[in-house]
Amino acid sequence: MLLQRFLIRLLTMLITLFGVAVVVFVVIRVAPGDPIAMMLPPGATDDDIARLRALYGLDKTIVQQFFIWLSGVVRGDFGTSISLRQDVLGLVFNRLPATLELAIVALIMAVLLGGTMAILGARERGTAVEAGIDIASGAALSIPDFLWGLVLILLFGVLVPIFDISGRVSPQLDLPFVTQFYLFESVLRLRFDLTWDLLKHMLMPAVALALPLAAIIAQLLKQSLKEVLDLDYVVQARVKGFSETQVILREALKNAALPTLTLVGVQFTFLIGGTVIVERLFSYEGLGNMAIDAVINRDLPLIQGIVLVFALLFVLINLAVDMMYALLNPRLRHG
C-alpha cells in the first residue's frame, strides 16, 4: 500500500515537473529582447550573431528547442549561462547549498518557535497567555517575510546593530571550505568561530522567513493539541500523575502533530519561495539572489535551470511529507 502510494505520487510529480518545464520554456521564449545582442560588443556582424544563435540553438523552432533543451536537462545538461558564460548546473549547485542552509535554519526556527507557542498556548488554554499567543501569531501570519525582513533590518541592523544584515559571511575571513555547505562544514571542522559568523549573517533572514511559518504552526498545532487534550488517553495520563506539560509532550504532541505536518510541508515550499526576495534584501549569496540577477540580465538558460531546481525541490518536499505522514501514522503503516 505504501509502495503504491509512493509510485502514484512519483508519477504525478514527474507530470508536474514536465508542466513546469513547458511553462518556463514558453514564458521565456515569448520574451521580447534579444539575449544574443546583449552578449556581443557593438559592431558585431550579422554573421557573428547567426553563429552565436546557432551555438545556443536559438535558430531552431520553439518545439525543437524545447526538446533539445529537455533532453539535455534529463542528462543533467542545463546549458550554458549567457551572462556568466558558465555551466548552468555548476552555477546552480554552487549557490543551492547557501539557500538550503538558510531555508533549513529557518524551518528549524519556525518549528521550535511555533511549537513552543502552541504547547504554551495549549497548556495555558483559556488564559491571557493563550490570548496573547493568538494575537502574536495573527500578526506574524499577516505580515509577509519581505516586510519582516525590513523590520529586522531596522531593529537589529540600525537601532541595535548586533547582527549582520548583508552577505553570507564576513568578507575578511579566510574560508577553508571545500563544499558550499559552509555552516554544516564549519561545524564538522570544529571551526565554531566561522559557524558563529555564518549564523550571525543568517539569523535575520532566517527569522524573517520563519515568522509567518511559526505563526501557522502555532495556530494549527495549538488547535489540534486542544482537541487531543480532551481525549480519554490524555485524562488517563493525568491520572497517572504526569504534569500538564509532560502530558502534552508525551501523549498529545505526536497525535496532534500529524495534521500540522502535512501543512508544514506545503508551507516549507512557500518559505523556500520566500528566500528569493529575502536573500535579495540581505544580499545573501544564494540561489534566489542569483535568480533575480539572471532575470535582470535576461539569462534564459540560467533562469530555466534555477526555476526547475526550485520546482524539483518543491515536489520532493511534498513527496517526502506525504511519505512521512504515511510512516508516522500507525494505522496507515499497518494497513
Partner 1 sequence: MSACLDIIDLSAVLANGQRVLRSVSLTVQPGEVRALVGESGAGKTMIGKAVLGVLPSSVRIVEGDMRLEGEDLGRLQPKARRTLIGARTALIPQDPLTALNPSRRIGPQMTDRLVRILGWSGDKADKRVRQLLDEVQIREPDRVLRSYPHELSGGMRQRVLIAAAFAAEPRLIVADEPTTALDVTVQKQILRLIAELQREHGTAILFVTHDLGVVAKISQKVSVLYAGKVVEEADTATLFASPQHPYTRALMAATPRYTDPFASLKPVDETVLAGLAAEIAAADQAWSRPHG
Partner 2 sequence: MDEARIVRRGAGPRLWLAGGWLLLVLLAAIFAPLVAPQDPLAQDLMLERLPPFWLDGAEPGYWLGTDSLGRDLLSRLIFGGRIAFIVAFAAAIAACLVGSTLGLIAGYFGGWADRIISRIVDIWMAFPPVLFAILLVAVLGTGLSSVILAIAIIDWTRFCRVIRAEAMGQSRMDYVENARIAGYGRIGIMLREVLPNVLPSIVALLSLEMGIAVIVEAILSFVNLSISTDDPTWGGIIAEGRLSIHQAWWVLVFPLITLILTVLSFSQFGEALKTRFDPVLR
Q: For residues 247 and 226, is the Cβ–Cβ distance under 8 A? A: no
Q: Quick check: 60 binds partner 1 (CB under 8 A)?
A: no
Q: Which of residues 243-272 bind partner 1 (CB under 8 A)?
A: 243, 246, 250-251, 254-255
Q: Does 239 bind partner 1 (CB under 8 A)?
A: yes
Minimal CA–CA distance to 194: which of 202, 183, 205, 203?
Answer: 183
Long-range contacts of 284-289 (CB under 8 A, 24+ apart): 284/98, 284/102, 284/167, 284/168, 284/201, 284/202, 284/205, 285/95, 285/98, 285/167, 285/168, 286/95, 286/96, 286/98, 286/99, 286/102, 286/168, 287/92, 287/95, 287/96, 287/98, 287/99, 288/99, 289/95
Q: Which is nearer to partner 1, 10 or 258 (CB)?
A: 258
Quote helix, strand, coil % in the chain, to nearest 5. Answer: 75, 0, 25
Return the one option of partner 2, partner 1, none that residue 146 interacts with (CB less than 5 to 8 A, by type). Answer: partner 2
CB of 319 to partner 1, least distance (A): 23
Regarding 131 and contact with partner 1 (CB under 8 A), the answer is no
Taking the complex as a whole, how short is the minimal distance between the CB of residue 247 and partner 1, in angstroms? 10
Q: What is the DSSP string of 159-206?
A: IS--S--SSSS-TTSPP--SSS-HHHHHHHTT-HHHHHHHHHHHHHHH
Q: Does 189 bind partner 1 (CB under 8 A)?
A: no
Residue of 146, 177, 181, 325 that binds partner 2 (CB under 8 A): 146
Q: Is 73 in the site for partner 2 (CB under 8 A)?
A: no
Residue among 66, 146, 181, 242 that touches partner 1 (CB under 8 A): 242
Give contact residues for partner 1 (rule: CB under 8 A). 125-126, 230-233, 235-243, 246, 250-251, 254-255, 328, 330-331, 334
Give contact residues for partner 2 (rule: CB under 8 A). 12, 15-17, 19-20, 23-24, 27-28, 30-32, 139, 142-144, 146-147, 150-151, 153-154, 157-158, 269-270, 272-277, 280-281, 288, 291-292, 295-296, 298, 303, 306-307, 310-311, 314-315
